[in-house]
Amino acid sequence: MTTDLDVRVRDLLEHYDRPAACAADLLCDRHPAEQIAFTVIESDLRAYELTYGELRERSARFAAALADLGVQPGDRVATLMGKSVELVVALLGIWRRGAVHVPLFTAFAPPAIEFRLTASHAKVVVADADQAPKLTATDYRTIVAGDAGTPGALRFDDLLDGYRSDDPRARSVAVGGDGLLVQLFTSGTTGTPKGVPIPVRALASFHAYQEFALDVRAGDVYWNAADPGWAYGLYYAILAPLATGVRSLLLHAGFSAPLTWEVLRRFGVTNFAAAPTVYRALRADTAAIADGFALRRASSAGEPLTPDVVSWSQRALGVPVRDHYGQTEHGMVICHAWHPALDVAVPLGSMGRQLPGWSCVVLAEDADIEAAPGEVGRVAIDTHHSPLLWFLGYLDDPERTASRFTADGRWYLTGDVGSRDADGSFRFSSRDDDVIIMAGYRIGPFEVESVLVLHDQVAEAAVVGMPDELRGEVLEAFVVLRTGIEGSAELAAELQQLVKDKFAAHAYPRRVHFVAGLPKTPSGKVQRFVLRGKEIR
């Protein structure tokens, strides 16, 4: 059966997958010049509107400057910038030139930056002034946004002043739907980050997600608080809002819970999106008074959403946070969606269903056939029935690319383990590397962690399997306590009992380690593989 939303998917694909496609036209020039793209908010909450006309003018100048620096269509240009007007101008300038954007996260140390710049052969790096000292190699040109004074670097503002938007080199270069837009890297939660090239036609899927899952409509105030150095922030805080043209907030400041509360309230945010850790930080900031919000929709992605956050948000924000699941390789694919046509109740703890344009399944552990309802298996995407799929394989890594597909090429394997209920909704169990097999039982760490964080003295928890002669593996928990709380044998026993009472008697952690913090990626994801290799005794 073809639904209205399937038709919408087809229209979006037609729109973004064209030989004449240039992302600067699709994301900027096609919107009326006076239309507001972003409300830019400074850390002191001063705010101003940024229109598509301004973006068009300034990004055209920047494109001419890049051309003059020798940047050719297809060349890589990196940004090492937080959310700012300069970032959006740089991105649109890069795409106008037909070049490919390489995002770098501002919390990266120099080795992580050099790894990505080398792997992507970047020719130019645009950096915020406070980031520029991290750029030490000489095989790329550096452009510095903000204060002057970096030796050898070009100044962003000088470049804009030095070119006109009607310069012939400022003209949009068409790269087509298969042309590359971004060269991004995965988070590195399970090992070395993988390079993911993103074609222009992927914009159709980002646009669809904003409509279908976030239900952002004209007149809404949308805010995705994620950082643009990662897929979640780049796709859905920058690309999707520019694609749909709905005004969005761009907060030019680092994260703090009080600031987030204030922005939500003062700017009347209606649709909020952020990683689960952001919601946990908001919850911990008890000083906030939980009223005066205009929120209609809230969602989180990137990590499992523990049920405690959902019930808290209903009380504190007036709206439950809904779980959305995706990967750098595809963007969001399985969501508890907010669009009225998709807004069906899903069981507690479920991530929701596949979005229109995607077909997702759970494959059995040992054969490439669909698992029975409720049976845990490999979460996979049907490459034959997912018109929005755009993944092209990993950068320079055919082996890792091949390992993502079943032998016949039909199914893309996400590397995640989960199950599907009879109603079609999906549950996340764990990453396949993190599954614990104890005495023949398969246990996902997430369910055990969800119980541990219910304890009011626990701030965070991670559970891993450790080798055990008798049982193959046993569970060990790494627990971070709330400020001012000390670990003790009694507390450890209490936590073990909590798991026995609320999850399963056999799956309690044999050892509970109280630790000051958990190993995480720069984007805040828990790296359980580091804990598995760790001797904390």
- If the CB atoms of residues 93 and 352 are measured against ligand ATP, the closer one turns out to be 352
Shortest Cβ distance from residue 282 to Mg ion (Å)? Answer: 26
d(CA 501, CA 270): 38
Residue 536 in tokens: 């904390």
Work out what residue 427 binds among Mg ion, ligand ATP, none; the CB cut-off runs from 5 to 8 Å by kind: none
For residue 231, the partner it binds in ligand ATP, Mg ion, none, with Cβ less than 5 to 8 A by kind, is ligand ATP
- Residue for token pair 């996340």: 428
327, 419, 425, 429: residue in contact with ligand ATP (rule CB under 6 A)? 327
Give the amino acid at 71: V
Per-residue binding letters, 74-113, with Mg ion (x by CB under 5 A): ----------------------------------------
Residue 20 phi/psi, 5° resolution?
-90, 10
516-535 footprint of ligand ATP as x/- string (CB under 6 A): ---------x----------
Contact between 371 and 364 (Cβ < 8 Å): yes
- Backbone dihedral angles phi then psi of residue 184, each to the nearest 5 degrees: -110, 160
Q: Residues touching ligand ATP: how many (CB under 6 A)?
A: 27
Which residues, 229 to 268, sit near ligand ATP by CB under 6 A?
A: 231
Q: How far is the CB of 335 from ligand ATP (least distance, A)?
A: 8
| 8 Å CB contact between 448 and 503 | yes
Question: 127 pairs with which residues across the strands?
Answer: 80, 144
Stretch that binds ligand ATP, among 120-128, 234-242, 318-326, 457-465 (CB under 6 A): 318-326
User: Is residue 176 a contact residue for ligand ATP (CB under 6 A)?
Assistant: no
428 lies in the binding site for ligand ATP (CB under 6 A)? yes
Near Mg ion in 170-209, by CB under 5 A = 186
Q: Residue 528 binds which one of ligand ATP, Mg ion, none, with CB within 5 to 8 A depending on kind?
A: none
Given a contact cutoff of 8 angstroms between Cβ atoms, the answer to whether 214 and 271 are in contact is yes
Question: Which residues 6+ apart lie within 8 Å of 36 measured at CB?
Answer: 49, 50, 51, 52, 247
Q: What letter represents residue 434's amino acid? A: D
Residue 47 contacts residue 394 (beta carbons within 8 Å): no
Which of 11-36 are b and which e, b meaning 16 or more Cβ less than 10 Å from the residue's Cβ? Answer: ebbebbbeeebbbbbbbbbebeeeee
Task: Among 103, 177, 179, 193, indicate the residue that binds ligand ATP (CB under 6 A).
Answer: 193
User: How many whole angstroms separate alpha carbon 54 and alpha carbon 32?
Assistant: 11
Block residue for tokens 């439950």: 320
431 binds, among ligand ATP, Mg ion, none (CB under 5 to 8 A by kind): ligand ATP
β-pair type (331-335, 353-354): antiparallel
Residue 353 interaction partner, one of ligand ATP, Mg ion, none, beta carbon < 5-8 Å per kind: none
CB of 327 to Mg ion, least distance (A): 5
Of the pair 38, 312, the CB lying nearest ligand ATP is at 312
Residues that bind ligand ATP (CB under 6 A): 186-191, 193-194, 231, 301-305, 323-328, 351, 414-416, 428, 431, 525
Residues that bind Mg ion (CB under 5 A): 186
